[in-house]
A and B are shown apart, each in its own frame.
Chain A
């Protein structure tokens, strides 16, 4: 986010940049007051979670220039981490003789596999939901960026890796629930607060995570490392000649983005009450790219709103099959148009409009020479 108000002090600029973020979060927090419908609130929470996932892609794609077509991989890993913990907490009626998850009993698994064992602890699961995606991403990032793989090839590798993990999860039915995923979960309970998928508590949990991820991502883009990451996006070899370890910064932003996606995945399990291989499917992964592009890949708030609006629209129209089909067609067209004519998405459009309004107002209030000179200079 480049600054457009050169004369104001750093603090003012910070406030100006934070304003859209805080306004959006305020609306998100205020929504339950207006929406007195638990079913609807659950749906909105779902879109908010997808919004967090899209923020994570915006961070790696919009700011890092890394088009990760496998962003849903981190999302899915987070989602499974949460689902495994919640599955082990279900009441024994559902879980077979010795407390084994039901699908393991059906698949003749006798003992809980070793990698399920630590998920008896919820805090371990939550930590794993963040750290496992980050580590996997860091390893993949190390593999790619140390070899100076760039551009299209990054997209192919990330996509292929996600498909491999997806295939393995579907194949290893006795340990992962296979095609059906992990269903029949207990409620998440932290410090005595139960998070019912249709309850207010869950909504506020999701809303807080939206705020948290937006702030973390925003803060990162303001740090020195964040600036270097953006410099790498714009001109990789120039940054390398300056002596920076380009791969290291790329790995870091890649892993940070994966951790945020993992957080979104965990929340998704809580909101949806199951985990499924489709959570790390190609379909979702590519949809995230669309949301991000439509909202504006170089704006965190834009990416978030893109996901919430487009996914929300899709959800609202899914009541009727004919509507949904037509909408998907319109979606495709909209997406092509955005790619062709609005590379910065709706956020870019909003920025242009906003600048135009400011310019008009300055012109009107008689500060013509100074105001116009400034805005055009920074444009």
Chain B
């Protein structure tokens, strides 16, 4: 029984990291239809920003979260403005363009900071462990879980209870009609992309104490996060949450029964089959075209 609970908790922990990374991707893909292959690099930038703030400015991880969000969001804004906005209505080409941007970001970091592994310290207040259902678990992982849920909540509010969110939803429904009502679609898109990028940066900063920071750390995340988005359904934030935890539990569970490689392969296969039979994702209500 203990082992079972331990598995569940491990799954939740994997799931919360997945959710952190996937949330930004989900916003960008769901609202702009852009498959952002540079998303992993935004995660990487966030992690490096955490390292830079810590090493050169002596800021702790928690204190630097807001500046990190802003820095990576600025990157996202620039990229949307000068690359992606030129590619309206060419969805396949945005995959290629964002991938090229990703390579550039990765190389720029490699050239400027070097490709050695970097380490970010756990916040001292969260470096001990606590008991959850009688299972000892690192407080930082509990913190991650709480933060991921909180960020989801904030994003949901932003989308559904603010003017910007309303404009974005209007554009998703019909861009030209929204524009004729005076909504500046370009600006909203740039802001959306920046917000998604900023979320990715936060995710990178938050996972940086758990993993080593390297220029190519993002590559693994983008695939996983993408699977979360596809499974959850394109325009469904709640679906993203559900699928992040489902995938977390699944990978945790199968990895426990078999091994990591088999877990990954099975999850990927399941997603391939899902795309074939339910491309709109598991949790999307059918919407009007």
Chain A interface residues toward B at CB < 8 A: 67, 143-144, 147, 149, 151-153, 155-157, 160-161, 163-164, 167-168, 170-171, 282, 286, 289-290, 293, 325-326, 328-329, 331-333, 335-336, 339-340, 343
Contacts and interface: CB of A to CB of B under 8 A. Distances in A.
Nearest to B271: A160
A156 B230 contact: yes
Interface of B: 35, 83, 86-87, 90-93, 95-97, 99-104, 107-108, 110-111, 219, 223, 226-227, 230, 259, 261-262, 264-265, 268-269, 271-272, 275-277, 279
Contact of B93 (A157, A160, A164, A339): A339
Given A164-B269, A168-B265, A329 B276 contact: no
Given A293-B96, A332-B107, A343-B93, 12 more contacts: A149-B276, A151-B92, A152-B95, A157-B276, A161-B268, A167-B264, A282-B219, A290-B96, A329-B107, A335-B100, A339-B93, A339-B96
A289 B96 contact: yes
Contact of B111 (A164, A170, A326): A326
A336 B87 CA distance: 11
A161 B272 contact: yes
Contact of B97 (A143, A328, A339): A339
Given A161-B272, A168-B265, A332-B100, A156 B107 contact: no
Contact of A155 (B92, B97, B100, B110): B92
11 contacts: A152-B91, A155-B92, A163-B268, A282-B219, A286-B99, A326-B111, A329-B103, A329-B111, A332-B107, A339-B96, A339-B100
Contacts of A331: 103
Nearest to B99: A286
Chain B contact residues: over half helix, strand or loop, or mixed? helix
A67 B92 contact: yes
B83 A336 contact: yes
Chain A contact residues: over half helix, strand or loop, or mixed? helix
Given A144-B276, A163-B268, A340 B103 contact: no
Contacts of B261: 167-168, 170-171
A186 B100 CA distance: 39
A282 B100 CA distance: 14
Nearest to B226: A156
Contact of A163 (B110, B223, B277): B223
Nearest to B104: A332
Nearest to A69: B95
Contacts of A155: 92, 95
Contacts of B95: 67, 152, 155
A42 to B, nearest CB: 27
A366 B110 CA distance: 58
B10 to A, nearest CB: 21
Given A152-B91, A167-B261, A333 B108 contact: no
A89 B127 CA distance: 57
Contacts of B268: 160-161, 163-164, 167
